Amino acid sequence: MIQFSTWDIVSNLLLAARWTVVLSLVSFIGGGIVGLLVLFARIGKFAGLRRAAKVYIEVFQGTPLLMQLFLAFFGLGLFGINVPAWLAAGFALTLWTAAFLAEIWRGCVEAIAKGQWEASSSLGMGYMQQMRWVVLPQALKIAVPPTVGFSVQVVKGTALTSIIGFVELSKAGTMVTNATFQPFTVYGFVALIYFALCWPLSKSSQILERKLNVAHRNH
Amino acid sequence: MSLIEITEVRKSFGSNEVLKGINIDVNSGEVIAIIGKSGSGKSTLLRCINGLETINAGTIAVAGAQLLPDDLHLKALRLKVGMIFQGFNLFPHLTAGKNVMLSQMVVKKVKKDAAEAMARRQLDRVGLLHKFDAYPDELSGGQQQRVAIARALAMEPIALLCDEITSALDPELVQEVLAVVKELASEGMTLLMVTHEMRFARDVCSRVVFMHQGRVHEIGPPGEVFASPRTPELQQFLGMQAA
């Protein structure tokens, strides 16, 4: 029987962790862009768009991410489209992230006092001008800590993509376990790598939150 | 022709009618104090003139321009009428100077240099030129309100609406704001102010409007209104103020 050194295990896991990082980044950035569009639809002037955005958010928040991955992976297959695992994973995670970020950001925009809207209206600003110059700059500052905090959820969410066969950190863990028969060691390392990715994120979220709260300053 | 013409204005919130047919004509250069109990509709009236509330019936015209609820008409109206709020509503992420510059640049497309010059001029007018680079949270309430006045003035309105602008201030800060308003009045600015400062209304205003249950109950020069109130409601209101 072949012997595997600890380094064999760790190096293979680290190679696969690259895909966890890439998938996280793609989902987070893609989700951020789509989320911004959903946000504007959700708080905008058009009732139809508002409703559509609300339904979108509710569907993605109200179903398990795993189901969304299955639907993206198998659903498109029904129409004869062959979806590779990485595409289904990136697609589903992007939409999932967008739904949550849009909702987080909506809270931040709505946290801006009504007086800010009224004052800028009375100075003659239009909706887009108010958004661009008055509301979003303030909302952005409130949004930073929860947004960074949510990125942790995205990183952990990528683990589910192993089930549709995308080889990222978790899937690699399973594969390495099958070769080495050392599940505890392997999954221990897997957990440590996830922790190493997530801990700095949640820590920075906490620091940002404290910084913005204690100072009580908006600039 | 009057500068601001308010004709048969009605406004309801749900089934609650707060303005029941208001008629007021304001001439250029007049300083009008609107007094009355809370819930009498005085703040709502002011907010209607600026289009922050839409009216259900009647008309409001400022310098001949009708108040209509579409964006184009609203913007045209708001360039003529500035508004100052009880809660100051300065933009907290911008310095005092930038607060005064922003709408000039964004709405009127004024160049940065010109906007800054105007901001300095208006801040100087309210005695706060030295606070140009201060953020709102570094200013006292009275100073914030004066910056808000400068911000409204920088748009060169022909009239100013003041909605209880001293009500959120500590007593010792009220006078510095009123002094600025008094100065504006003496320069001929048309002012419509909802106020609880009866002494100020008496000294500075050309006419006083007493509102009661959504109607203009009494209107006249301060000398008349304060010295010989005709209706028991106003007598009672002034009695409460004196007590």
Query: Taking Cα atoms as reference points, which of B17, B168, B33, B205 lies closest to residue B89?
Result: B168
Rounded Cα distance, A65 and A217, in Å: 37
- pLDDT at residue B112 is higher than 60: yes
B96: which 2 tokens?
Answer: 């005092």
| A124 lies within 8 A of chain B by CB | yes
3-class SS of residue B3: coil
Q: Domain A6-215 - what CATH class? A: mainly alpha
| Higher pLDDT pick, A124 / A3 | A124
Q: HSE, CB side, 13 Å, CA atoms: give it for residue B58.
A: 22
Query: Does B91 contact A217 at a Cβ distance shorter than 8 Å?
Result: no
A152: which 2 tokens?
Answer: 């942790």
Choose the closest CB to A123 out of B51, B88, B155: B155
Rounded Cα distance, A93 and A86, in Å: 11
Q: Which pLDDT band holds residue A219 (cuts at 50, 70, 90)? A: low
B84: which 2 tokens?
Answer: 């100052």
Choose the closest CB to B93 out of A122, A138, A216: A138
Rounded Cα distance, B31 and A89, in Å: 67
Query: Does A138 contact B52 at a Cβ distance shorter than 8 Å?
Result: no
Q: Mention every residue, 6+ apart, whose C-beta is less than 8 A from residue A95.
A: A31, A34, A60, A68
On whether the CB atoms of residues A60 and A49 are closer than 8 A, the answer is no
Residue appearing with tokens 């080889």: A167
Amino acid in the structure at residue B47: R
Paired with B193 in beta bridges are B33, B162
Query: Does B85 contact A134 at a Cβ distance shorter than 8 Å?
Result: no
Rounded Cα distance, B114 and B128, in Å: 18
Q: Which residues in B lie closer than 8 A to residue A130 (C-beta atoms)?
A: none
Query: Does A119 contact B79 at a Cβ distance shorter than 8 Å?
Result: no
DSSP state of B209: E
Q: Which residues in B lie closer than 8 A to residue A121 (C-beta atoms)?
A: 50-52, 78
- pLDDT at residue B107 is higher than 50: yes
**Nearest 5 degrees, angle CA A63-CA A22-CA A93?**
10
Count structural domains, chain B. Answer: 1
Mean pLDDT of A47-76: 93
Question: What is the residue-averaged pLDDT of chain A?
Answer: 91
Query: Does B52 contact A121 at a Cβ distance shorter than 8 Å?
Result: yes
3-class SS of residue A20: helix
| A133 lies within 8 A of chain B by CB | yes
- In DSSP notation, B17-36 reads EEEEEEEEEE-TT-EEEEE-
Query: Taking Cα atoms as reference points, which of A60, A16, A12, A26 lies closest to residue A166?
Result: A16
Amino acid in the structure at residue B33: A
Encode burial over A143-167: b for 16+ CB neighbours within 10 A, e otherwise: bbbbbbbbbbebbbbbbbbbbbebb
Mean pLDDT of B49-74: 88
**Rg of chain A, C-alpha, whole Å:** 21
Q: Which pLDDT band holds residue A215 (cuts at 50, 70, 90)? A: very low
The pLDDT tens digits of the residues spanning A71-91 come to: 999 887 788 788 888 999 999
DSSP state of B222: H
Helices B112-125 and B141-153, packing angle to 10 deg: 130
The pLDDT tens digits of the residues spanning A190-202 come to: 999 999 999 999 9
On whether the CB atoms of residues A134 and B98 are closer than 8 A, the answer is no
This model of the complex carries an ipTM of 0.92
Paired with B34 in beta bridges are B194, B209
Residue A210, pLDDT score: 81
The pLDDT tens digits of the residues spanning B26-60 come to: 999 999 999 999 889 999 999 999 999 999 999 99
Q: Are strands B31-35 and B57-62 parallel, antiparallel or unpaired?
A: unpaired
CATH code, domain carrying B63: 3.40.50.300
On whether the CB atoms of residues B205 and B32 are closer than 8 A, the answer is yes
Rounded Cα distance, A96 and B117, in Å: 49
Residue A40, pLDDT score: 93
The domain containing residue B226 runs over which residues?
A: 4-242
Distance to chain A for B15, nearest Cα, Å: 23
Residue A213, pLDDT score: 64
Query: Does A129 contact B91 at a Cβ distance shorter than 8 Å?
Result: no
Question: What is the residue-averaged pLDDT of chain B?
Answer: 92
The pLDDT tens digits of the residues spanning B185-210 come to: 999 999 999 999 999 999 999 999 99
